Amino acid sequence: MIVTPGKISGIDLTFTAPPSKSYTHRALIAGALAGGKTTIFRPLEAEDTRLTAGALRSLGVAVEDQPGRIIVTGCNGALPNRRPTTLNLDNSGTSLRLLTTLALLCQYPVTLTGSARMQERPIGPLARALPALGGTVEFLQEDGYPPLRVSGKLLGGPVVIDGSMSSQFISSILMAAPYAQKEVEVIIPAPPASASYLDITLSVMEAFGAKVERTGYGRFVVSTADRYQGRRYTVEGDYSSASYFFAIAAICGGRVTVKNLAPDSVQGDRRFLEAISAMGCTVMYGKNTVTVENSGELKGIEFDMATSPDTVQTLCMVASMARTPTTITGISHLKFKESDRINGTADRLRALGGDVTVGDDRITVRPAPLHGGTIDPANDHRTAMSFAVLSLGIGGVTITDPACVNKSFPGFWESLKGIIP
């Protein structure tokens, strides 16, 4: 367990953002499907990305780990699994969802499963879309949930998919689409959750040579004439992980600079900076750095975080230190993450003295005197990291199961070693 010290203030710190988990997953998949070799520089080395790499190896792709890089020998869209294959993706929803459509490019059927929590996370909208593309999906336990067996061929054509629960359902189809037998047209009838992650998906696809015609977030047409080509690819820094460092400045007061961040990144979690700026922080951009300063009281805001899901909990922590209420909207899909992040965050803040109310698509945090306590993150990495940041502002918090951060940010506690013993 991690026990935080007393309240700290007036900090002046510099951190380096770890590589992006979202980009690493997608680069691994594009490299695996590409023609020729891909070298991925500065990949995120974490539990989730290792699960994706391991699954690709199980499907017959050569994935070689080297210091600071991963070398992937592409299969040119024909995944050579030699027998029916089971992929256990543990608690990595991104891995399981992105690889589901990929299974239609395999020689033999693929079964995708995971942890007990993974088997509670719905995948029905993606599974129901695949038959239109040539796939067959069989649920092995509960309808609409893993484990599921996927077989068939990726024929292509038009497909309608509901992305209101997760944009990863859409990304799954998009990433495999260049290898369909005919052009794939993806139609999304309602605004997708976490739409900014589709921008990440397209960014990686196009970097590897794919061509996608889009109409906003409602329609994507993927060419089958332009397929992925192996290349040298460098993973950019992660704004989701950097949010914890920015929040330290907001909560404790002082100045934090984070290196290894692209100022023009399409990552939706950049909006966290807009939120804390509206609350009273000063945000300054350098060539590859972002600096946040806070020298006064924080004020509450109303803010839509629909495109920034992984920083909602972090913003709740900042909001709990503000002098007026904060309401965060656009968050209904957070119920389906590694834990129910809406009610789980509210319950844990209340345990520390917080005043929190929850609606179907919103959470409101009001000013209240906070105190120390024990936080069990329930194996949710983002819960552990967000409450660790809050603990620096109130002191006396014990966080159990600190190793759960290895899912996305194995170096998190090491980064804070100058603050938390």
Catalytic residues: 310
DSSP codes, 104-170 = GGBSS-EEEE--TTGGGS--HHHHHHGGGGTEEEEESSSTTSSSEEEEE----EEEE---SS-THHH
Phi, psi of 152, rounded to the nearest 5 degrees: 110, -165
The Cβ-side half-sphere exposure at 300, using a 13 Å CA radius, reads 18
Relative to beta strand 219-222, strand 254-259 is unpaired
Contacts of 86 (CB under 8 A, 6+ apart): 110, 111, 112, 113
What is the DSSP-derived secondary structure letter of residue 179?
Answer: G
One-letter amino acid for residue 32 of the chain: A
The two tokens of residue 129 are 């879309």
N-to-C CA span, the chain: 12
CA Rg value for the chain: 21
Closest CA to 204 of 265, 146, 275: 265
- The CA distance from 335 to 243, in Å, is 21
Amino acid at 318: V
Query: Residue 110's Cα: distance from chain center in Å?
Result: 24
Residue pointed to by tokens 């990949």: 43
| Helix residue ranges per DSSP H, 34-75 | 47-58
Strand order in the sheet with 397-399: 2-3, 397-399, 373-375
Determine the Cα angle at 302 with ends 163 and 330, to 5°.
10
